[in-house]
Amino acid sequence: MRDIVEDIKTRIDIIDLIAEHVELKRAGQNYKGLCPFHSEKTPSFMVNPSKQIFHCFGCHKGGDIFSFVMMVENMTFQEALSYLAQKAGIKLESKGHGSEIRSGIKENLFAIYKEALIFFRNNLKVSKHATSYLNKRGVDNETVEKFSLGYSKNEHDALFNHLKTKGFSFEYIKTSGLISSGDHGIYDFFRDRLIFPIFDLQGRPIAFGGRILSESKNAPKYINSPDSIIFKKGETSYGLNIAKNSIPQKGYSIIVEGYLDVISCHQYGLTNTIAPLGTALTSGQLKKLKRFSNKVLLIFDGDSAGISATKRSIELCYKEGIIVKILLLPQGEDPDTFLRKYGQEGFRKCMSHAISPVEFLLKVYDRSKLDAVRYMLQVIASCPDPLQRDETIRELSDRSKINELTLREELRHASRVKRQASRVDAFQKSGISSPENMEEKMLLSIALSFPDKVMLIANNIEPQIIEDPVIRGIFEKIKKWPSLEKLLTVCDKEEQKLITMLSINTEIDETDVEGIIENCLKTIAMKKLERQIRLAGEAGDVKLLNSLLFEKKSLLQKSKLFLNGGNLAKN
Ligand SMILES: [Zn+2]
């Protein structure tokens, strides 16, 4: 197993892999980019090509290509292994243990959805009922193909039977959410519905949305597959698997409300359009979207539900540092009806009248101007991008005719309240910059960054004298596994995190590495002695105290002790 891991690591470069998700720029020995795991405006996500590791100084996530894939694709190690093996062109002989069961479920669910997709698409081809609906809505054949639209027959258990004949077990079919069971036995979840398949970014079907076709029925107009281990509604957008290619080209994405809006927009050339699933946009969806562009145009309906959805979406966009504009369509229109009436040209004309969040709130927010301004200040306070904050506040002052300084004062107040709430949390997370055990961290950092110094350090330090248990654990292993790659494979999660963080350290003065090592060793030894002296004093052990004090004195006198072959082992 370890050999395969090594093999994959030699074939896949971490820079290439991460560049598929993050825009990386060279910064000295490292590459820098915006972290895919937390929201930020200035890059604190570093990738080191020579060590093949990454670390984020903002959220402290880090590791190698495997940890990256596991985190970014939400995969288990086993899944990441087979994903990367495939990428590297390596055949996996047999599976390891551990996550086998779960990946078994995942594989089965992917296969079930793939099979169901084929089934629904074939149904559509022979259903007059469904095709005439699509014709009525002006959806052409090319678009039907592009979005893999389908139809679920108005039958009790057509899909269930089909999946059974394909050899899927009842348990897996049930887990997929494609069937329900109740008083009438087992029945298909989607019946007599137009099917909108929902894909992940790799283009695999992971869920379906279904629109009812017989208006008479007393059933919801739209339903979605339930969340499963392959589908998280809050992190998936409709159409992103297609739009992801044109969003970076066009420089922004368009967010509309419904499936048919997305389909119409694409058919009329607005190929950067997506929709949240269900009504509300989520921050999980925006985080994924942001990988492709941080500019968004919101087009929601002009009714009261659409307006509150827009308001909520503005809030989320600011929180994610996304630059947002809003397009208000004429009363009673949605993108689909509007496009069919006025075509692409009419739509583009309308798009040129898109307004800013400030305009939207002052114009549409149905409360007083002051309420709108206060609300907007809250929104601005949550934005991580100082430039975006600054620009918005200036516009807010312009349009509300409230003095900019007054607004800035109010903003400071709003930010302070927000900060106080999050400070405790942030403080607990940032154990990194704490000066505690600085020398131990520095020493480890050097051992990790300067391969030619590893043995020098390892030979001059006994792990027992190290106070920090995580650093001690690493030093216990480093002598046996001095190479970073090997070391990472024998360390636990906590240790790996610290290793990736410390090995991307830009603050070491390279001209005097040995001097720093010496100082660190000395300080660590001194601190250890002082701890022992304090304990001996508390215990009243005079004999021990005296010998420790003597040791301390001689330590202070010797300036060049350790690197000349001395060893601190006996402390
Ligand atoms: Zn981060």
Give the CATH number for residue 37. 3.90.580.10
Q: Are residues 442 and 557 in the same domain?
A: yes
Dist. CA 324–CA 298, nearest whole Å: 7
Task: Work out the pLDDT band at 290, boundaries 50, 70, 90.
Answer: confident
How far is the centre of ligand 1, averaged over its atoms, from the C-alpha of 57 (Å)?
Answer: 6
Q: Are residues 517 and 563 in the same domain?
A: yes
Q: How many domains is the chain partitioned into structurally?
A: 5
Supply the range of the domain harboring residue 477.
Answer: 438-570
Boundary (domain end) residue, out of 324, 354, 384? 354
Q: Are residues 13 and 56 in the same domain?
A: yes
Residue 261 in any domain: the answer is yes
The candidate with the shortest Cα–Cα distance to 173, out of 157, 184, 155, is 157
* Span of 296-300, 362-366, 434-438, 487-491 with lowest mean pLDDT: 434-438
How far is the centre of ligand 1, averaged over its atoms, from the C-alpha of 44 (Å)?
Answer: 7
Q: Average pLDDT in the 84-88 region?
A: 87
Q: Are residues 494 and 560 in the same domain?
A: yes
> What is the predicted pLDDT for the residue at 429?
40
How far is the centre of ligand 1, averaged over its atoms, from the C-alpha of 61 (Å)?
Answer: 6
Amino acid at 77: F
How far is the centre of ligand 1, averaged over its atoms, from the C-alpha of 45 (Å)?
Answer: 6
Residue 288: C-alpha distances to residues 31, 205, 241, 544 (Å): 21, 17, 11, 61
Residues sharing a CB contact under 8 Å with residue 503, sequence separation 6 or more, in sequence order: 48, 51, 53, 55, 445, 448, 449, 484
Give the CATH number for residue 483. 1.10.860
- Tokens at residue 334, please? 């949605």
The candidate with the shortest Cα–Cα distance to 144, out of 127, 121, 128, 123, is 121
* Span of 113-127, 301-315, 365-379, 425-439 with lowest mean pLDDT: 425-439
Residue 7 in any domain: the answer is yes
Q: Are residues 424 and 474 in the same domain?
A: no
How far is the centre of ligand 1, averaged over its atoms, from the C-alpha of 327 (Å)?
Answer: 32
- Tokens at residue 97, please? 């243990």
Residue 47 in any domain: the answer is yes
> What is the predicted pLDDT for the residue at 164?
93
> What is the predicted pLDDT for the residue at 305?
79
- Give the sign of the dihedral formed by CA 89, CA 94, CA 99, CA 102: positive
> What is the predicted pLDDT for the residue at 104?
73
Residue 204, pLDDT > 80, answer: yes
Q: Average pLDDT in the 294-311 region?
A: 87
Q: Average pLDDT in the 263-286 region?
A: 91
Q: Are residues 221 and 298 in the same domain?
A: no
How far is the centre of ligand 1, averaged over its atoms, from the C-alpha of 196 (Å)?
Answer: 34
Q: pLDDT for 434-459, tens place per residue?
A: 456 778 888 888 888 787 888 888 88
User: What does DSSP assign to residue 152?
Assistant: E
More confident of the two residues 359 and 291 = 359
Residue 94 in any domain: the answer is no
Residue 279, pLDDT > 70, answer: no
How far is the centre of ligand 1, averaged over its atoms, from the C-alpha of 518 (Å)?
Answer: 33
Q: pLDDT for 377-427, tens place per residue?
A: 999 998 988 889 999 999 999 999 999 999 998 888 877 766 655 544 443
Boundary (domain end) residue, out of 354, 378, 403? 354
How far is the centre of ligand 1, averaged over its atoms, from the C-alpha of 494 (Å)?
Answer: 16
> What is the predicted pLDDT for the residue at 100?
44
Residue 208, pLDDT > 90, answer: yes
Q: Average pLDDT in the 97-107 region?
A: 58
Residue 373, pLDDT > 50, answer: yes
Q: Are residues 446 and 564 in the same domain?
A: yes
How far is the centre of ligand 1, averaged over its atoms, from the C-alpha of 315 (Å)?
Answer: 21
Q: Are residues 313 and 244 in the same domain?
A: yes
Give the CATH number for residue 252. 3.40.1360.10
The candidate with the shortest Cα–Cα distance to 124, out of 47, 22, 194, is 194
Residue 302 in any domain: the answer is yes
Task: Work out the pLDDT band at 162, boundaries 50, 70, 90.
Answer: very high
Residue 360 in any domain: the answer is no
- Tokens at residue 395, please? 């516009």
Residue 523, pLDDT > 60, answer: yes
- Tokens at residue 368, please? 């007083």
> What is the predicted pLDDT for the residue at 252?
94
How far is the centre of ligand 1, averaged over its atoms, from the C-alpha of 60 (Å)?
Answer: 6
Q: Are residues 225 and 114 in the same domain?
A: yes
**Distance from the first to the final alpha carbon of the chain:** 40
How far is the centre of ligand 1, averaged over its atoms, from the C-alpha of 442 (Å)?
Answer: 22
How far is the centre of ligand 1, averaged over its atoms, from the C-alpha of 33 (Å)?
Answer: 10
Q: Are residues 341 and 404 in the same domain?
A: no
* Span of 108-112, 184-188, 392-396 with lowest mean pLDDT: 184-188
Mean pLDDT of the chain: 85
Task: Work out the pLDDT band at 564, boundaries 50, 70, 90.
Answer: very low
Boundary (domain end) residue, out of 205, 231, 257? 231
β-strands 30-33, 45-48: how paired?
antiparallel
* Span of 73-77, 351-355, 443-447 with lowest mean pLDDT: 73-77
Residue 93 in any domain: the answer is no
The residue with tokens 């495997």 is 66
How far is the centre of ligand 1, averaged over its atoms, from the C-alpha of 74 (Å)?
Answer: 15
Using DSSP's 3-state secondary structure scheme, residue 332 falls into: coil
Q: Are residues 27 and 131 in the same domain?
A: no
> What is the predicted pLDDT for the residue at 569?
37
How far is the centre of ligand 1, averaged over its atoms, from the C-alpha of 161 (Å)?
Answer: 46
How far is the centre of ligand 1, averaged over its atoms, from the C-alpha of 21 (Å)?
Answer: 13
Q: What is the DSSP string of 371-408?
A: HHHHHHHHHHHT-S-HHHHHHHHHHHHHHHT--HHHHH
Q: Average pLDDT in the 543-559 region?
A: 80
Q: Are residues 137 and 245 in the same domain?
A: no
Residue 136 in any domain: the answer is yes
Residue 78, pLDDT > 70, answer: yes
CB 46 within 8 A of CB 504: yes
